[in-house]
Structure 1
Amino acid sequence: MRPVAAPRERLTPLETVWGMPYGRQLGVDPLPRTPAGPTGPAGRAGAGGVSALRAAVEDAVLPALRRPPCLVSFSGGRDSSVVLAVATAVARREGLPDPVPYSHRFPAVPDSHESPWQELVVGALDLGEWQRPRWSDEMDVLGPVARAALRRDGVLPPFNGHLHEPVFAAAAGGSVLTGIGGDELFAPVERYPVVRVAARRAPLRWRRAPSLLFTAAAPGRWRARRTRRHLPVGFGWLRPPAARALRAELALDRASEPLRWDVSARTWAWPGRILQVAARAKERAAGAHDVLVAHPFACAPVLAAAATTFGWAGPRGRAAEMPRHFGDLLPARLFAREDKAGFDGAFWAGPGREFARRWRGGGLDGALADLVDPEALRAEWLSAAPDLHSLTLLQHAWLAQEGAAQGAVPAR
């Protein structure tokens, strides 16, 4: 993975047009390998009869619980539900105040409605306090919450990071737990078919066997060339040289991922900028409210425990792994669900589109001006469903044109 020397909470110009960081963060070392324990591989049996992965998650939530009020950013999905359940169990075991779930309500965004699942979890945990604010367009990508954060901190990834601003404000002086990192921690290996076949999670089709073996043994640059053909980087708002450069960078990054899941978790995922940059950006935003923020599924001890627990083949997915490690905490039907809430409508609810209508190409100077076609970008923003990858550029343009006039931090 190519190291990147950019600040840990800021995006490079190419990352900005992609909307996300990539590559390895310079100065972040891989995680050491966790040795096997006396009862077998670490993660199979931990203290108190729970797995080492469960024990690592319990340890990860404890500092936040010791700094009340401890709020949990709780959507009702499986990741945030598990974090809330573990935090509740640990708080009661340690004699600490219960964590408080915090759930956004967007009445005008049907995809975000998770009330039945949320009520199932909160009821099962017997929690007495639950914060459920209702929003209309306040959480738009350029709504009042996002604008205040942009003026204070400049542009931080991801574009929807301001969703946590009200959570941090409600937890001022305390702590916030999130379910960030659950997708990466529990998703089954899909990228390398040879791993699924070797782990007997997919059938071997003999006609594909030579291709699978060659892919596994091929050098990274060959895999990068093959990966480049299938990357979704057909953004019409990028100038052709920029699109080629971005596609090449992303292909090299993805091709550098090790075949073994445990090695990937320690040496590719942990030092990766997609984890490190997002975590540092959250810390910066939380710090403005004197809040300790923690992401149990994306912290070093949990990733290290997961690497040993899931081994070379990686996890089998949430439906298989979550009941195994956390099944005693929540109703079984929660783990079996396959749907997930969507919040895109909340981020494109009016203010962002209004700015796009009056935008005439300003605010994207310097390196960004060489990468972006302003007319094509504006057309994308004014389309029925603009690509979310373009919204970081929208925030850059607004901050340079309108936010800076009101004392904003420059969009470095």
Structure 2
Amino acid sequence: MTGPTVPADRLTALESVWGMPFGRQPGVAALDRGASSTLRGAVERAVLPALRRPPCVVSFSGGRDSSTVLAVATAVARREGLPDPVPYSHRFPGVPDSHEDDWQELVVGHLGLSEWERPRWTDELDVLGPHARTVLLRDGVLPPFNGHLHEPVFAAAHGGSVLTGIGGDELFSQVSRYPVVRVLARRAPLRPRALPHLLFSALAPRGVRARRVAHRLPLEFGWVRPAALARLRRELAQDSATEPLRWDVAARSWMWTGRILHVPRLAKERMAAAHDAVVVHPFATPEVLRAAAAAWGPAGPRGRAGELLRSFGDLLPREVFTRETKAGFNGAFWAGAGARFARRWTGVGVDTDLVDPEALRAQWSGPDPDLHSITLLQQAWLAQEGPAPLGR
């Protein structure tokens, strides 16, 4: 599916149509069962090497995952006599959906941190703004399309380190067949009417489940040619159907080996290296996944808020973990430069066997294009207005 010649931090042609990697990362083996600590202890050990390489900058949006990483890093730094981590928060005054100021203030105030980077942006972080163009010209197209948001973060951490909350979405998610797991783990009653569906989810062969997933996938990409869309649907469904029923097995053998985890991680490492910085994603490390698998077992997490409270609840106010709102940054990504390029695009830089250039142009002409198409926009810009660096 991915092909042996695809660099480890790049997307295949089909993945570029989707905008993100999927499937298994070649050369990455499943994790063993070993777990030597609690989830809290594993996260603490994950942040320690970054704290020992100051300045340690935390990419801090104010959401639950980045707030937890900042709180753990602050506690470990003070226990070990190391400099406090420095939160870095993007501020977009013109994008109301992105405003997390109150949550950020609550967290930073509670932790008593005196240093805090809060740059204010207008259109600089557009998908083809100056920071995106810097990354494209230096490194080529790296996933995800909004990875350039970390370019100024890495610059602020020059010579030091960066911590992120990346991996939290995967860590605190249930397996896709969670209704079966809930019944088996006695978290939900067995309802006779649901029995056929549960039996199908638990016992149906992988190929049969893949066909059902493919039929239900909501892929409506008008710019993708029908044959390519059918192939994308089929490969995404096959990947989904390989997910184990047990959460602990999935964490070690499906999440850890997935390209969705490793390709963006390697892309971030490439970007950080340009600033002599290292980047660590505590929620996406082997030790943390092993600890979570051992702690949560076959049924997995009982919900993000509950598990965060159980492991980290003493570090921050309860409402930080139980909040249900989440910021949106689409207005910051599509702020001018991308739309201007789309209007002058000549049609180069995309695989016309996979996409229809005119339908793609129409997608980019709207005020809020589908974000799945933006990787193709960046490829087109690099092809038309690059050149891309050789040997990267």
Shorter-chain TM-score: what band?
Answer: over 0.9
- TM-score for the superposition, normalised by structure 2: 0.97
Matches within 5 A, 1:96-175: 96-175=82-161
Matches within 5 A, 1:10-25: 10-25=10-25
Given the superposition, is the C-alpha separation of residues 3 and 235 from structure 1 closer, same or farther in structure 2, using an over 3 Å criterion?
Answer: closer
Matches within 5 A, 1:12-411: 12-34=12-34, 46=37, 52-364=38-350, 368-404=351-387, 408-409=388-389
- TM-score for the superposition, normalised by structure 1: 0.92
Amino acid at match of 2:82: L
Deviation at 1:344, TM superposition (A): 1.1
Amino acid at match of 1:160: N
Deviation at 1:177, TM superposition (A): 0.1
Amino acid at match of 1:137: D
Deviation at 1:385, TM superposition (A): 1.7
Identity percentage over the alignment? 71
How far apart, CA to CA, are the structure 2 residues paired with 1:129 and 1:148? Answer: 27
Amino acid at match of 1:61: V
Asked if the contact 2:91–2:99 (Cα under 8 Å) also holds between the matched residues in 1, the reply is yes
Given the superposition, is the C-alpha separation of residues 411 and 106 from structure 1 closer, same or farther in structure 2, using an over 3 Å criterion?
Answer: farther
Asked if the contact 1:189–1:196 (Cα under 8 Å) also holds between the matched residues in 2, the reply is no
Asked if the contact 1:106–1:112 (Cα under 8 Å) also holds between the matched residues in 2, the reply is yes
Asked if the contact 2:256–2:286 (Cα under 8 Å) also holds between the matched residues in 1, the reply is yes
Amino acid at match of 1:150: L
Deviation at 1:200, TM superposition (A): 3.4
Residue-by-residue CA offset, 1:364-390 (whole Å, 9 max, x unaligned):
2xxx22101001111111123211000
How far apart, CA to CA, are the structure 1 residues paired with 2:201 and 2:305? Answer: 29
Given the superposition, is the C-alpha separation of residues 190 and 223 from structure 1 closer, same or farther in structure 2, using an over 3 Å criterion?
Answer: closer
Residue-by-residue CA offset, 1:342-364 (whole Å, 9 max, x unaligned):
11111000100111111131222
How far apart, CA to CA, are the structure 2 residues paired with 1:3 and 1:205? Answer: 41
Q: For structure 1, which segment, 196-205 or 64-73, has the greater mean C-alpha deviation from structure 2 after superposition?
A: 196-205
How far apart, CA to CA, are the structure 1 residues paired with 2:178 and 2:357? Answer: 37
Given the superposition, is the C-alpha separation of residues 178 and 255 from structure 1 closer, same or farther in structure 2, using an over 3 Å criterion?
Answer: same
Q: Secondary structure, in 3 states, of the residue corresponding to 2:117?
A: coil
Deviation at 1:232, TM superposition (A): 2.1
Amino acid at match of 1:409: P
Q: For structure 1, which segment, 209-218 or 368-377, has the greater mean C-alpha deviation from structure 2 after superposition?
A: 209-218
Asked if the contact 2:174–2:247 (Cα under 8 Å) also holds between the matched residues in 1, the reply is no
How many residue pairs were aligned?
Answer: 391
Amino acid at match of 1:153: D
How far apart, CA to CA, are the structure 2 residues paired with 1:138 and 1:411? Answer: 28
Q: Secondary structure, in 3 states, of the residue corresponding to 1:248?
A: helix
Deviation at 1:203, TM superposition (A): 4.1
Asked if the contact 2:175–2:246 (Cα under 8 Å) also holds between the matched residues in 1, the reply is no
Q: Secondary structure, in 3 states, of the residue corresponding to 2:122?
A: coil
Deviation at 1:3, TM superposition (A): 6.6
Asked if the contact 2:175–2:250 (Cα under 8 Å) also holds between the matched residues in 1, the reply is no
Please tell me the root mean square deviation across aligned C-alpha atoms, in Å: 1.4
Asked if the contact 1:399–1:410 (Cα under 8 Å) also holds between the matched residues in 2, the reply is no
Given the superposition, is the C-alpha separation of residues 245 and 109 from structure 1 closer, same or farther in structure 2, using an over 3 Å criterion?
Answer: same
Deviation at 1:174, TM superposition (A): 0.2
Q: Secondary structure, in 3 states, of the residue corresponding to 2:298?
A: coil
